[in-house]
Each structure stands twice: as C-alpha cells, then as structure tokens.
Structure 1
Amino acid sequence: MFLFKQKNTKKKQPKSSVLQPSSVVMEEIRHMETSQQQQETVRKICDIFGEDNDFTQRGFIVSNDIPANVFYLNSISDKETISKEIIKPLTESNLIIVEVEAAMERVCKNILFHADVKTETKLTRIVEGLLRGQTVLLVEGIKAAFLIDTYKGEKRSISQPETEQVIRGSREGFIENIQSNTALLRAKLPIPDLRVKSVTLGTLTQTNVAYCYIDGIVNEALVKDVEERLANIDVDRIIDAGYVEQFIQDNPRSPFPQVKSTERPDVVVGNLVEGRVSILVDGSPFALIVPATFAQFYQTSEDYNERFIMVSMVRIIRVFALLFSLIMPSLYVAILSYHPELIPTSFAVAITSGRAGVPFPAVIEVFLMEAAMEILREATVRMPKQVGGALSIVGVLVIGQAAVSAGFVSPITVVVIALTTIGSFATPAYNMAIGFRMMRFPLLIMTGLLGFYGLVLGLLFVNNHVLSLRSFGVPYFSPMAPLNVAGLKDTIIRAPLNWLLDRPEELHTRNKRRINPNDLGPSNALSPENIKQSRGGQKDNE
C-alpha cells in the first residue's frame, strides 16, 4: 500500500536551448526579421497586436525629419519613462544617419538615457519584449529595433509570512515578484559568490525561474542536476512554484514532500550557506530548497534564534506530536477492538459506559470522525477569514457535542480525534503535515482488519518507503540513515551553535567548515580574577 515505485533515475538529455514557440503566432514569425524600411516592420507588429486594446503605437519625428515609432502595452509599461527617457531625448537630438552601425551606437550611448537598452532584429524577440513590458523603438534607416525596459508591474509590499510566523526572528517574507525576492536574498548575502541564474519555463506562460546557490560551497554536481531537471520541464504553463516542485522531485508518487518550500528569506539563506540550491518562480511567494531531508520539515528558523536546550525540547515535542497524530487513532482502534485486556479495569468501565448505545464499531466510528474533521478543516481554510474562525469553533463544540448526545460517537473517541488533530498542527511544514494526515486512513483500515498486526505492518511499510526515498541523490532520512553521528547534532535535538562546526556531510560541499574552533569561547573580560590580574594584584579600592 505504501510501497511506491521509484522514479527512473536515468538522466534525460536536456532540451535545446533554443526558445520554443509559445503560440501559433510565434510559430509563424519564428524566422522573420525586422526590415530597414520602418513601415514594413510596423506593419508586421501591428498585424500581431493590432486588435489588442492594450497595444499602443506612437509615431513621432526625430530631428532632421527622421520618422520613428514606439510600441508598448499600456497595462505593464511606464508611460512617464517612455515620454521622458525615450521620446523627448530623440526629438531633441541631432541624429544624422550616415552609417547604420554608428547611428545605432549613438542612439544607445548618447541619446537614450535609460539604463537597459539593447538592439534586436528577430521579430520573435521583439514580440516577447513587448509582452514583458519593454518598449520597442523603430527608427527609419536603422534595421534593428531598440528594446528599452519600461516594465511597471503592481506588487504587494513585503510583510510577515502567513504560513511561517515566528515570535523571534525576521518579519520579512517573499512576495510574488521575483526581482524583489532576489533583492531580499542579496541583502542578506552581500557576497559576490551568490549566483542567481534564470531560465524560462512554460511555452505559454513564459515564466521566469531563477535558481540560486553559493559558488565555492555548493557541490557542482548538485547545480548541474538542478539545471538538467529544470531543462527537462516541457509544459505549457508554470504558474506557481508547486508546478516546478512536482516536476523536479525524485518520487512524485510519494505522500512525503522531497522538496522544501518556504516563504522566509532567512530560511533560504540558511540553507544556501549549508550548500543547498534554492529555486524562485516569478509569481509565487514560495521558494524551493533542494535537496530536502525529513528532519528539515519539523524544524523552523526560530530554532536557531533561541537557546539550544529550549529548542531541543520543542523539537522533541514536535516529533512526538507527529508520531502521536499518525498512530493514535489506529492504536485506539486496535486496543478497543482486538486487545481490550490492555485497558486498565477502572478505565475500561469509563470506556464501556461511554460507548453504550453507539451503533458503529470502533473503526467505523473513528473513520467517520476523522473524515468529518478533515472536511471541517478544509472548509475552514477555504472560507473567508471572518467566517472561518467562527466555523471552526461551531464545528468542534456544537457538532461534536451534538454527535455525542445523539449517540453516534463516544466521548472518548471525540477526545482521541481532538488530540490527534491538535498534534498534526504541531508540524511546521504544511505539506508534510497533510501527508501524515492522509496516511492515517490506510493505517486505520489495516488496523481495523488485522489489529495490532495491521498497525505494525503498516508502520513497517511506511518506514520502508521513507528509507527508500532520495532527494537529488541524498537519502531522505539523512543523517539518521545512513547514520552520521556528527549530523545528529542538528536533527531531533539542536546542539549549541559552536558545536555545529561543519556543514551537513550528506551535501558533500566543497567548503565543509563553517565555524573556526580556535575563535570559540568567551573571554570573561570583566571577571574578578581577570580584573585583579590586569591591575597587577592590587585591590579594587587602591
């Protein structure tokens, strides 16, 4: 049931670097180029965008009676920039076209004030530039078109992430703009070794995807693997980071996530410093981190801002809550249905009296309550925020109490399901928590059929599957399996920061050491012994 077929690890040949046509129009104009006769190029562009209300063509005269045209899309272009930095400098210039190359160089270097100007002759590139907010400039007598970046897109302000809130830590979160997200990483990693490379994915959406890593730390084989997996994505749309995650993970049939997603720049920076690769997708506030191991999904950025003793206790509680939420309903059914002799006598009387009149077996009762809780949870998430909180309270209190009063479920079952639900919320990563929640149902069915034997058999299947998983070649249960004693310092517990001398061994980084052990330890400059020694043994009052 939990033994999923592993994905074929044989590497595919990467796609050609030539941009694939994104539509029928792009296919038709693939081999077309601009003409030195401006009207011919104007006609081609107008044939493509002429029926679009968002498309604007503006003709004007450059000095010496040279006609020119600019093309742009109103919704994504900055009109003020077009007027002040393109049209005005050209109309006030003294442009004379004698040699085409010299005229192009003068327009780029002496006339246009904009920082991002390039020339292009292929019509496909010109159309793509228009669709990305660039302004196209055509000047009579010059074959090439000038592409000026005048993009002006709407974006929300940087705020605290909704899904990863912390008490002590940064309040910055990623937004849907990839340039802003890259800037957040640059601000926290102001080093030239930070590499940000981009690719375009989605033949229709043409989504900008960037992958980031620190050169000199990350293993080069990991970077090449990420590049190949991104190059092998051949789909018409990439709308969110979740699309990319499903294409690059090793085993898409597994209920466990093999790619970590986060909204926090500090989490990305911490993983980049450890030697991982991060992937940003334009239009998504989530960043992907590869490779990912099981331990990462119950850790938070706040774990490194607090004292190690407190953090270690909190991590143990998270792991206990994770296991409790997975096995508690099945364990309850196994004891109640197959092994009631394990229940203490005083407690058995309470359970028996509570179940008096319940028409369903224990497994059906728990299964229905689990299904009802998942429906309620899903409804709460999808409802508006003002209504969702009230719905959750009504669902838990009113419906639960009514079900007990009507005799459909026993009070102890409601308590077990409530504790299980609360335990599932202790997992910081939503995609990991939902995987464990869904696995409770097959475990419950196996326990209902076979009792304790079915529960143990199901857990063995789950354990076997987790141990077989890999994320970009890294064993999913590293550093616990295969065992790496040094790596255990930052798994279920978190050792003091000055003990975490090396980067994770499973990442095989080029620069393994991250703390200089010679610089560790306090100097105790103001201790009485040091003060007395610095004064030559004299008394304080002297």
Structure 2
Amino acid sequence: MAGHDPSHGTQRQLVKRKISKHLSADLQENLDSLHGMFDLCNDLISHSTNINHFSCCLIYLNDMVSREAMQRIETKLALGNDAISSQGDISKFIYQRFAYSLLMEVNSLETVSEHLLEGNAVLMVNEVESAFIFNTKADLGRHISTPETEQTVRGPKEGFVEDLQKNVMMIRKKLKTSALKVENSTIGKQSKTKISVIYIHGKASHEVVEEVHHRLSQIQTDSILDSHYVESMIKDQPRSPVPTVYSTERPDHVCGSLLDGKVAILVDGSPFALTVPALFVEFLHSSEDYYDGAFAATIIRWIRFLGLFVTLILPAFYVALVSFHQDLLQSPFIIRIAANREALPYPVLLEALFMYLTFELLREAGLRMPKPFGGPIVTILGLVLIGQAAVQAGIVGPILAIVVSVTALTSFILPNYVFHQTIRFSGLPLLLLAGLFGFMGIIVGLMFGLTYLVSIRSFGTPYFFPVSPARMERWKDVFVRAPWWAMDSRPIGFGTKSSSDTEAPSFKKEKDEI
C-alpha cells in the first residue's frame, strides 16, 4: 500500500479548496475535499489499495488510532476477493469481512471528519457514494482509579475518569434498568465535546429534564474542556459565589442522586459529573454517610456542621471579641490577652488578615507541590511553623495563631471542594465586618448571607429546601441520617415520590406550593 503525505511538502499556507458536503462516487474528489479540510495536518494518514478493480483509500489520524486495530484492518483489506464485480458486491464484502469492527456507513463529508477526529478510521471506495467507518479508537485515557477529592474508608473505590463512555458504563453497571435514559449531544464549535444527560424515567421531573436540555442548547462557545465550563453556563445565578450545581467524581453519588429524581450531566474529557438540582444541605453530606451506621453517620454529620460554623466565623468572632467586646471575657483571660498583645505593633484585624493571607499562600503552594514533597501536610506544617515564628517575632499574638490554625484544619472537614472554597472565602467579609462593627457586623453579615441562600433556586427548586420551605417529614436525611428502613421517600421538589407514597405531585405543582 502506498502512503500519502498530506502536508504537501513545506507549504505553510492553507490551501483553499471547494469542499463538498456530500461524498461523490469519485474517490479522488472525496480525497481532495478531505485533504482541504485537514490541510497542514501531518498526522492525517491515507493508504491507497485496490480490491479487485476498485480503488480504495484508508484514512485515519495517526495519533488517535489503535495500532493493533489498524493492522488487522489493513491485513484484511490486502486479501481482497475475486468475486467482487459491482458496487453491491464490494459493500457486501466489507460488511462480511469487517463485521466486528465496522461501525456504520455514512455519506456526509462532515460526518467523516467527525469520526476521524474521534479516532476512527475511514475507508473510501471509488464508485461508491459513501464511506465506511471502522472502530479504531485508541484507549488514551487513564484507567478507573480511586477518587482523588472524595475518598472514603467504606464504600466503592471507583471514580470517574476522562472517558465519557467509561463513565456511562460505571453508572449503568450500578443501575441495571431500562428506565435509565442517556441522551447525548455535542457542544463547542471547535472542541465538539460530547455531553450526556442521564436520568431515570419516572423518577426525574420532566420539567427539570427539559430545562437541562434547554440550558445546554443555549451554550454558545468554541470549546468545552471540563464540566466546570458547563456548570458556569447553566447555573441559576451566573455571578453567584454559591454553587447551585453539584459536582462529584463518584459514580455511587451520581447513582444515588439519580434515584432521588435528579438529573446528571457527564462531559467527555472531565472526571467530574454534575447533578441538578443541588441543595445547600447536599454539600455538607458525604458519600461515606450512607456506608456507616445511622448513629455514627449522624454524629459525624453534626461535627461537619460544627466545622462549617468554625470555618466561617471563628476568626471574625475572635477579632470582634478582642476589639469591641472585652467585657464578655473573664478578668484572668482579659489580662492574659492584654499581656500577649502589649508589645504587638498592629491591630488584631491586620494580624488576622496577615495570617489569613499566609494560610492561602501556603495552601496554594501545597496544592501545586509534587506529592512526594508532602502536599497538604506541608501546608499545615508550614502554617504552624510560620505562625510560631510570627509569634516569637512579635508580629501576631499566640491566641490568634491558634485560631487561624484551627480554622485552617476545620475547613478540610467540608467534603465538597467547590463548597469548601466558597465557605473559606466567605469568612473574609465576615472578618472585615467584625473588625469594623464587632458582633453586630457578624450578625448582619450572617443575616444577609442566610437571606440570599433562602432566596435563590437551583433549577426551580429552593436552594435551602427542605429547611426553607420547611418539610419536616423530609428531615430524615438532613440534620440526621436515618436508618435505611426509615427513609421510604425522596425529597419533594425535583422528582416524584417513591412507590410507597399515595400521590406523586408534579414538579410544577410543588413549585406552586412553595
């Protein structure tokens, strides 16, 4: 077989050619159109061969295909068949000879281009107005491994990878039902990224599914390289710092959300899946809550809520206490604080901002640091060592160093990374309000924050549901984790009820009630 060089020597300018949308019976015309689309693409390989008196050309992108698959196809093409004498005979020969690797037969040049970019090989035959697509994709992604950001002691150890097909497979492996629907689409003018919308028919609200498709169809961008691109374009409040779309790399979490009546969005090339609607309480729950006993999971959940408040208000509470409300402390404690702060040159608010900035710098350094050097462990140790050195140098007080260190540790209790970032940075405006107005500033800041959280929605569902609007019968999986035998229904607002419920109100009806 002869090789073809698509680079056309050392020419560096694109060659403008008239490209036909449909394949013709002339093989050379089809090749000219295809090479015009992939001009200056040196990895486009075309091998010419003959099957009896029919001229053929096998085309593929060299870095995208499996070598073993290409070798099998080229070997079978070289064998030929003497009985081939017509267009129908050669099509029959290809279907019989490549039954296991042949995907489809297409007649559009644009479809041929899409399959080439996906890693498939294309066979074009002279006198045939169609092309044959072979499955030759190379497995370029990483294998299924343990989730990096949502690790658990008990429960499944599988995590999503960057391959959309593998991710859908992991979900179907857990939910073996024909009611699980997978609807595919493509977004991105240049990247042409595949996206799958997954839901369980009969459990997910039809209105939510339609809203997801509507928002995805409104996305106009050149490329989608990660699920965060989609998340930022479909969330209810585009400028909101609060996440209203849940992202996870755990298939078991996605399956649980699908059973709750939610809709999942998977993006090719991203190991993080999106689920909607997202509720505030969901970001404080961990997958491990459902693999431990009800009592232990409930206690851990309360500890997590405590960690949320410590991360959010502890530095602000200390600054307000020292600056404005010393009368609330006992005399020995006030004397000790005054003695420690006597030689310090700066106000406590500036000291807190300095320690806050130091922690963020160390945290970023720890995230970018190679794992053999310690990563997050180096961040914590660095914070402790720098805090101790700052105390000894007389820059900050020892109690403030303890407060910031405790806050840094408790921030890692929050299980969701995006929510962790939001809470961590939300403590900064509270810190400023506390330094300027004391406890009143903290209270006003918390009231404004709570009012905002209660007012927003996620795909039509109140963000603070089922706390506000209150549905106490749905609190079995909010502040506590009830035993499995007691959780006989799903939260109202984004799906239908379970079979044990007597009535299944629609999504629209529930929104009207709210």
The answer to whether 1:408 aligns with 2:395 is yes
The answer to whether 1:82 aligns with 2:70 is yes
Q: Please list every run of 5 or more consecutive structure 2 residues that lacks an aligned counterpart in the other structure.
A: 1-12, 503-514
Determine if contact 2:189/2:221 at 8 Å carries over to the other structure.
Answer: yes
In structure 2, distance between residues paired with 1:337 and 1:234:
51
Q: 2:81 aligned to 93, 114, 125, which one?
A: 93
* Residues 33/342 of structure 1: CA separation in 2 closer, same or farther (3 Å cut): same
The answer to whether 1:61 aligns with 2:61 is no
- C-alpha RMSD of the superposition: 2.2
The answer to whether 1:342 aligns with 2:331 is no
Q: 2:481 aligned to 491, 494, 499, which one?
A: 494
* Residues 393/86 of structure 1: CA separation in 2 closer, same or farther (3 Å cut): same
* Residues 229/388 of structure 1: CA separation in 2 closer, same or farther (3 Å cut): same
**Structure 1 residues 1-53: Cα deviation after superposition (integer angstroms, max 9, x where no partner):** xxxxxxxxxxxxxxxxxxxxxxx999986753222111211222233335322
Q: 1:70 aligned to 58, 67, 91, which one?
A: 58
Whose relative contact order is higher, 1 or 2, with alpha carbons under 8 Å and at least 6 apart?
1
Q: Secondary structure at the match of 1:505?
A: coil
Q: 1:157 aligned to 143, 159, 181, which one?
A: 143
Work out the number of aligned pairs and report it. Answer: 489
Determine if contact 2:19/2:36 at 8 Å carries over to the other structure.
Answer: no
**Structure 1 residues 402-460: Cα deviation after superposition (integer angstroms, max 9, x where no partner):** 10011110001011111111121111011111111111111111121211211111111
Q: Secondary structure at the match of 2:493?
A: helix
The answer to whether 1:482 aligns with 2:469 is yes
In structure 2, distance between residues paired with 1:451 and 1:26:
69
| Amino acid in structure 2 at the alignment position of 1:284 | S
In structure 1, distance between residues paired with 2:500 and 2:138:
41
| Amino acid in structure 1 at the alignment position of 2:179 | D
Residue in 2 that maps onto 1:175 = 161
Determine if contact 1:114/1:148 at 8 Å carries over to the other structure.
Answer: no
In structure 2, distance between residues paired with 1:69 and 1:508:
52
Indicate the larger mover: 29-38 or 184-193.
29-38
Please state how far the C-alpha of 1:97 moved relative to its aligned partner.
4.8
* Residues 514/286 of structure 1: CA separation in 2 closer, same or farther (3 Å cut): farther
Residue in 2 that maps onto 1:130 = 116
| Amino acid in structure 2 at the alignment position of 1:481 | S
* Residues 393/485 of structure 1: CA separation in 2 closer, same or farther (3 Å cut): closer
Please state how far the C-alpha of 1:246 moved relative to its aligned partner.
0.5
In structure 1, distance between residues paired with 2:157 and 2:104:
38
In structure 2, distance between residues paired with 1:127 and 1:133:
10
Q: 1:381 aligned to 344, 352, 367, which one?
A: 367
Q: Please list every run of 5 or more consecutive structure 1 residues that lacks an aligned counterpart in the other structure.
A: 1-23, 517-542
Determine if contact 1:381/1:388 at 8 Å carries over to the other structure.
Answer: no
Residue correspondence of structure 1 range 389-408 to structure 2 within 5 A: 389=375, 391-408=378-395
Q: 2:27 aligned to 29, 38, 57, which one?
A: 38
| Amino acid in structure 2 at the alignment position of 1:36 | A
The answer to whether 1:443 aligns with 2:430 is yes
Determine if contact 2:147/2:158 at 8 Å carries over to the other structure.
Answer: yes
* Residues 401/26 of structure 1: CA separation in 2 closer, same or farther (3 Å cut): farther
Q: Secondary structure at the match of 1:283?
A: coil
Residue in 2 that maps onto 1:277 = 263
In structure 1, distance between residues paired with 2:25 and 2:78:
19
Residue in 1 that maps onto 2:272 = 286
Indicate the larger mover: 26-35 or 178-187.
26-35
In structure 2, distance between residues paired with 1:483 and 1:395:
44
Residue correspondence of structure 1 range 100-111 to structure 2 within 5 A: 100=87, 102-103=88-89, 106-107=92-93, 109-111=95-97
Q: Secondary structure at the match of 2:59?
A: strand
Residue in 1 that maps onto 2:106 = 120
In structure 1, distance between residues paired with 2:169 and 2:46:
33
Residue in 2 that maps onto 1:452 = 439
Q: Secondary structure at the match of 1:129?
A: helix
The answer to whether 1:220 aligns with 2:206 is yes
Please state how far the C-alpha of 1:132 moved relative to its aligned partner.
1.1
Please state how far the C-alpha of 1:515 moved relative to its aligned partner.
9.6
In structure 1, distance between residues paired with 2:72 and 2:330:
84
| Amino acid in structure 2 at the alignment position of 1:110 | Q
TM-score normalized with structure 1 length: 0.86
Identity of aligned residues (%): 37
Q: 2:254 aligned to 249, 262, 268, which one?
A: 268
The answer to whether 1:363 aligns with 2:352 is no
In structure 2, distance between residues paired with 1:157 and 1:83:
24
Determine if contact 1:258/1:293 at 8 Å carries over to the other structure.
Answer: yes
Q: Secondary structure at the match of 2:191?
A: coil
Q: 1:243 aligned to 229, 235, 250, which one?
A: 229
| Amino acid in structure 2 at the alignment position of 1:181 | N
Determine if contact 1:315/1:493 at 8 Å carries over to the other structure.
Answer: yes
Please state how far the C-alpha of 1:361 moved relative to its aligned partner.
1.1
The answer to whether 1:187 aligns with 2:173 is yes
| Amino acid in structure 2 at the alignment position of 1:448 | G
Determine if contact 1:25/1:48 at 8 Å carries over to the other structure.
Answer: no
Determine if contact 2:19/2:33 at 8 Å carries over to the other structure.
Answer: no
| Amino acid in structure 1 at the alignment position of 2:481 | R
| Amino acid in structure 2 at the alignment position of 1:40 | E
Determine if contact 1:85/1:113 at 8 Å carries over to the other structure.
Answer: no
